[in-house]
Structure 1
Amino acid sequence: MGVDLEQINPRNQAALRAWWEVGRAATAHRPGNPWPAWEQTRVTLPADDPEGAVTVLAAIDGREMVGAGLLVRPLRDNLHTATVDAYVRPDRTREGIGRRLVEELEVVAAGDGRRTLHAEVFLAPGATGTGPEAFAAATGYGVASRESIRELAVDDYRSRHDRLVEEAAPAAAYDVVTFDTVCPDVHVESFGRLLGTLLDEIPLGDLDLQASAWSPERVRAAEQRQVGIGRHVLTALAIAPDGSVAGSSDVRVNETDTAHGQVGITLVDPAHRGHRLGLALKVATHDLALATYPGLRTVETSNAEVNAHMNAVNDALGYRTIETLLELQKVL
């Protein structure tokens, strides 16, 4: 095979654009909004990230890029893990390029002391026995969790809005505070405490991940990263009568693509569940997103298939399943 693998500098705009084109072509068949806009990738990948380090890999045949790989390594916690992504141009599949990309990324991960690798496969809802599943199995990645990728048409949400507000009435004992990306100083410490419980509270299946601490300094650093890359994290906090943050949810919208949003984190402290806070927070963030970006058309979210409560909330808002996500894991 006359294909060479090379790490590319994401600050090299020409090389990064060729890498991005491979990913776009490889994901073009998927529904929804599976690949970021070029302007977002151009800003995001070269930018310093206090939470993670990236390796950008290219498969090159002559003067053409035919494969693209990405390795993301957490820098704050779960330092035993890394996430592997590989894409092959559709006209060059079944030539072993994807396997070579994965194997090279595994070498880089192992060299950095990462022993547990994560990856993702996307399928049509209900599909089984697909090529991506076979590729994952052949490269040693097992299914550790299953999620549903869901999409909300904004017009559908608007038609349900008044009923949703009524259903969220039990949350009225809590104040709801909204903000764009940067948490108010008065809430940042309590907000960080809630974020630190995330991986203990969401269904992880067999994924080898541990919860971590979110100090005010870490929260602020992550916020500044989002500001720097033009990503608006439109957030709602539920404030309990004692002033603590009882829950949080957000919708993320990139300045380069204000027609599409994505739900980030929705989390309610176990001590405050049973008051429809999840629904109230989601209504607040979706309302904020629509007020900020009137041209917003769709919002995507993902949840573990076993997360019955959050899936019911998403059903109420009008989300519909468009893909199944298999969360994969491999121990080197």
Structure 2
Amino acid sequence: MVDIEQINPRNQAALRAWWEVGAAATAERPGKPWPLWDQSRVALPADNPERAVTLIGAIDGREMVGAGLLTRPLRENLHTAMAFAYVRPDRTREGIGRRLVEELEVVAAGDGRSTIQSEAYLPPGGTGASEAFARAMGYDVASREAIKELTLTDYLARRDALAVEASAADAYRVITFDTVCPEEHLDSFGRLLGMLMSEVPLGELDLAASEWTPERIRDAEQRQVDVGRHVQTAMAIAPDGSVAGVSDVRVDDSDPAYGQVGITIVDPAHRGHRLGLALKLATHDLAVATYPDLVSLDTSNAEVNTWMNAVNEALGYRTIETLLELQKKR
């Protein structure tokens, strides 16, 4: 019999066993689908007032054969939770994944969450067992995204030609920084962050916009510093001094060969000036200069976001997976 138990993330032995299940379950996927142990052992036990985290494990005797993760936002979208289930490859098709999801849904319901969201990953343009499993569990596809990967050699081969296109943004001043926003731009940065949910294509995902005060931004920055994550950021400053756009690349001290694009957003009032391209060039240049061993970056965009997909393809990003954003309402 397999038992489902809650895992204390501060118990390093239990957390390591949980992490190893996820690593094994995602080992065949392309790119970097699972964080390194040195990242997880720091990030998962860390206190975070932005979200609550519950870990569960499927235990058979003395072995962990399944792992589940539930996160709940604590500032906005209090009706939602994100659920993920992983099963060790040699123990699939035994009902373990179903039991993990059911337990995660119980925890979410007990916390008053009526909308559960999750993700499924497929080969580009293909199908897979994860989508069938999600539908069998009652989850609908709310949005489709493309997960893309960029090798830095491809980027460097294209960079100079793209810089000519980005010169359309020369009326704007582009500044860069590592994680901590300059004080004089903090309020305007928060205003732009508050637009994110309304400007990014969400499909049918039931998510509302958020408010980013200076205090909230500073707290978020400190959490990144505490776990050794660098948010290499480029910010476009309009002639009137306001923040017109922002983009970032995130690299962990424990894994400096790989990074991820975080957010990219341009204020609608400032679109049409190639700011998105200019900002991405600035962040990628900063990452290359800061991390000489950087090999690749990954990002994801909604398939309907044709403008951002065109920018990323021009930079050299290539699709490696299809991401299905899943949703189940009770």
Pairwise same-fold verdict (TM > 0.5): yes
The alignment partner of 1:83 has SS state of strand
Task: Provide runs of 4+ in structure 1 moved above 6 Å.
Answer: none
The alignment partner of 1:152 has SS state of strand
1:1-25 CA-to-partner distances (Å, cap 9, x unmatched) read x000110110000000000000000
Partner residue, 2:172: 174
- TM-score using structure 2 length: 1.00
Alignment of 1:36-115 (within 5 A): 36-115=35-114
Residue type of the alignment partner of 1:278: G
Alignment of 1:13-32 (within 5 A): 13-32=12-31
The partner residue of 1:187 within 152, 176, 185 is: 185
Alignment of 1:81-230 (within 5 A): 81-128=80-127, 130-230=128-228
The alignment partner of 1:156 has SS state of helix
- Residues of 1 paired with 2:16 and 2:160: CA distance? 44
The partner residue of 2:243 within 226, 236, 245 is: 245
Q: Percent identity?
A: 74
The alignment partner of 1:60 has SS state of strand
- Residues of 2 paired with 1:240 and 1:295: CA distance? 33
Shift of 1:50: 2.0
Shift of 1:51: 1.1
The alignment partner of 1:173 has SS state of coil
Shift of 1:36: 0.2
- After superposition, the CA RMSD in angstroms is 0.5
- Residues of 2 paired with 1:188 and 1:86: CA distance? 37
Residue type of the alignment partner of 1:99: R
Partner residue, 2:297: 299
The alignment partner of 1:186 has SS state of helix
1:71-103 CA-to-partner distances (Å, cap 9, x unmatched) read 000011100000000000000000000000000
Residue segments in structure 2 that go unaligned for 5+ positions in a row: none
- Residues of 2 paired with 1:68 and 1:209: CA distance? 26
Shift of 1:305: 0.2
- Residues of 2 paired with 1:258 and 1:51: CA distance? 26
- Residues of 2 paired with 1:140 and 1:231: CA distance? 36
- TM-score using structure 1 length: 0.99
- Residues of 2 paired with 1:221 and 1:78: CA distance? 19
- Residues of 1 paired with 2:9 and 2:47: CA distance? 11
Shift of 1:49: 1.0
- Residues of 2 paired with 1:93 and 1:330: CA distance? 23
1:71, 1:85 within 8 Å by CA — same for their partners in 2?
Answer: yes
Partner residue, 1:317: 315
- Residues of 2 paired with 1:76 and 1:250: CA distance? 23
